[in-house]
């Protein structure tokens, strides 16, 4: 039983950590690019903020998946659910889609958004096009989240 809980916790932690790393790197890349552009043109802060924030969603998806696990296990209040080894593995594996898709897509979305920032620097009116391009990458994090949610939903404790 103990081991099952450990696995379930590891799953939640992996989702939050890996997707969080992806977003941190992604937002970092876009943020650096934005600071560079703003050193020339500080007025652009408003229009660049969205592009910098966009790769941040993976981290939120990871956090959210971790929270769903926490809710499922009842960690926030009351007795913690009994988890056997099989269920533990199930929860762990269910967390992997958002963890890994979040990690990789966050980094790549950051790259797309960083070049989007350069694009806005030269074409201030084309603010939404880079946003859409960023969202194209994010799709796979969203799909990962979707599968994680559906898998978690299917696990009976």
Partner 1 sequence: MALARVERVEIIASNLIKDELLVELQEAGLLEIEEIGSNLDLNPGQRPSVSFEALIFRLRQVIRYLSLWRKTKPGEKWLQPRPIINRLEREAILRQDWENLIAPIERLESSYRETESEIKALEKERELLLPWQNLELPLAALESTASVEVLLGRLPRSNLNELVELGKEQPLWFHEINADKRNVYLLFLIKRSALKEIESKLKELNVSFFFLPETILKKAQREETLKNILLQIEAEIKEKEKVLNSIEKQSQELSSLWPQFMIALDVFENEQQRINTYSHLGQTEKTVFLQGWIEANNITRLKHRLARFADHLAIFHRPPQEGEDPPVVLRNPPLIQPFQIITSLYGLPKPGTIDPTVVLAPFFFLFVGLCVSEAGYGLLVALLSLFFMIKVRPKGSTLLFSRLMFALGLSTIILGTLVGGWFGFPIRQLLLIDPLTQPVNFLILALILGFIQVWFGTLLKAIDCWRRERNMARSLAQIGWLILLPSIVLYGLRKIDLFGYFSLFGASLIVTFSKTKGNPLLRFLGGLYSLYDISKYLGDVLSYSRLLALGLSTSVIAMVVNTLVGTAVKIPIIGWVAAPFVFLGGHLFNLAISFLGGFVHSMRLQFVEFFTKFYEAGGKPLKPFSLQGKYVEFR
36, 41, 80, 139: which one binds partner 1 (CB under 8 A): 139
**Per CB under 8 A, does 75 bind partner 1?**
no
**Per CB under 8 A, does 30 bind partner 1?**
no
Q: Are 101 and 15 in contact (CB under 8 A)?
A: no
Site string for partner 1, 87-126 (x = CB under 8 A): ----------------------------------------
At residue 41's C-alpha, the angle toward residues 39 and 43, to 5°, is: 120
53, 81, 119, 157: which one binds partner 1 (CB under 8 A): 53
**Per CB under 8 A, does 146 bind partner 1?**
yes
38, 50, 81, 100: which one binds partner 1 (CB under 8 A): 50
Q: Which residues, in sequence order, are CB contacts of 87 under 8 Å at separation 6+? A: 4, 8, 155, 156, 157
Q: SS3 for 31?
A: helix
Binding site for partner 1 (CB under 8 A): 50, 53-54, 56-57, 60-61, 64, 67-68, 76, 128-129, 131-132, 134-136, 138-139, 142-143, 145-146, 149-150, 153
């Amino acid at each position: 039983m103990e081991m099952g809980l450990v696995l379930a916790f590891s799953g939640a932690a992996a989702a939050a950590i890996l997707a969080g790393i992806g977003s941190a790197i992604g937002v970092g890349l876009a943020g650096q690019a934005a600071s560079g552009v703003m050193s020339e043109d500080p007025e652009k802060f408003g229009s660049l903020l969205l592009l910098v924030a966009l790769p941040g969603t993976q981290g939120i998806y990871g956090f959210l998946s971790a929270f769903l696990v926490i809710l499922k296990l009842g960690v926030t209040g009351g007795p913690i659910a009994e988890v056997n080894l099989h269920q533990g593995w199930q929860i762990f594996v269910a967390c992997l889609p958002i963890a890994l898709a979040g990690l990789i897509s966050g980094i790549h979305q950051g790259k797309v958004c960083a070049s989007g920032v350069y694009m806005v620097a030269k074409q201030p009116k084309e603010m939404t096009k880079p946003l859409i391009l960023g969202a194209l990458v994010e799709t796979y994090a969203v799909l990962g989240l979707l599968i994680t949610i559906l898998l978690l939903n299917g696990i009976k404790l």
